[in-house]
Amino acid sequence: MMDIFSYSFMQRSFIMGTIIAIIAPTIGLFLVLRRASVIGDALSHVALAGAAFGMLMGIYPVYGAIIFSIAGALGIEKLRNEYSEYEELSLSIVLSAGIGLASILISLGNTSGIFAYLFGSLALVTEKDILVVSILGAFIIISIAVLYKGLFYVSFDEEGAKLAGVPVKFINIYFAILVALTVGISMRIVGVLLISSLMVLPVATSLIISKSFKQALLYSNLFGILSVFVGLIISFYFDLAPGGTIVLTALSILLIVIFINRKKS
């Protein structure tokens, strides 16, 4: 079992996976509370376009994914204000734009490595990936810690937060950027098409057993880490796509917790 850690690429994968396993569910918890969990899906398609653009331009694809994701996140916030009565339209519009642009960029050629960004790859995780994920991961966690009270208030009652003097517009824009960064840096391990699942599934599991917000946050992180670790181990030994394996592991944990909870009740 321990021979898995004798491979340098697996060591890098576990380091990166641990960081993402903490960030993604943490961001996901706030998204779920805002009833905007599908925002990860919308931004993932935009990130795919960014990765394809990076490949075509000969730049680091993760940078392209991050830039495009941030643009998409800001677009969602702008459209949310335009369609205040139909806010979900903003997600559909950005998702459509992302997948349309991605398909065109991929069809232009020189994007043969795009599959690794769709579903994640263990062998292709590099030292540069670790550095980028570590720096941006630390930035995301610190940002959440600093804005914790504001995010908490806005997530539960946006109108009440406005009346209380909370800078709601700033927090919404800043949080949208944090979501975009999370999607961008997670693509190497989980893949852009599956990252939204890692944001949501551990949170869905935690909400079944938690009795407070802090418990939900703690359990989300624990289930996220468990899903990533088990998923990486299974994907290594059975030569499976890490993203899909991690997501199915997270889903299995959710189903187990639901089953145990029903037995108790």
The answer to whether 147 and 177 are in contact (CB under 8 A) is no
What are the pLDDT digits (tens) for 146-205?
999 999 999 888 888 888 888 998 998 999 999 999 999 988 888 887 888 999 999 999
CATH of the domain at 44: 1.10.3470.10
Long-range CB pairs of 208-213, under 8 A, 24+ apart, other chains included: 208/257, 208/258, 208/261, 209/257, 209/261, 213/152
Query: What is the pLDDT at residue 265?
Result: 67
Burial of 223 (0-12, 13-18, 19+ CB in 10 A): buried
Residue 143 has pLDDT above 80, yes or no: yes
DSSP 8-state class, residue 121? -
Query: What is the pLDDT at residue 117?
Result: 82
pTM of the model: 0.91
Mean pLDDT comparison of 6-20, 119-133, 163-177, 205-219, highest-scoring range: 205-219
What are the pLDDT digits (tens) for 66-117?
999 999 999 998 888 787 676 678 888 999 999 999 989 988 877 677 877 8
Tally of domains in the chain: 1
Q: What is the DSSP track for 23-83? A: HHHHHHHHHHHTT-TTHHHHHHHHHHHHHHHHHHHTS-HHHHHHHHHHHHHHHHHHHHHHT
Query: What is the pLDDT at residue 1?
Result: 58
What average pLDDT does range 124-136 have in this prediction? 90
Radius of gyration over alpha carbons of the chain, in Å?
18
Domain carrying residue 172 = 2-264
If we measure between CA atoms, which residue out of 242, 133, 134 comes closest to residue 184?
133
Task: For 49, list phi and psi in degrees, rounded to 5.
Answer: -60, -40
Query: What is the pLDDT at residue 2?
Result: 63
Confidence bin at 120 (pLDDT 50/70/90)? confident
DSSP-derived 3-state class of residue 218:
helix
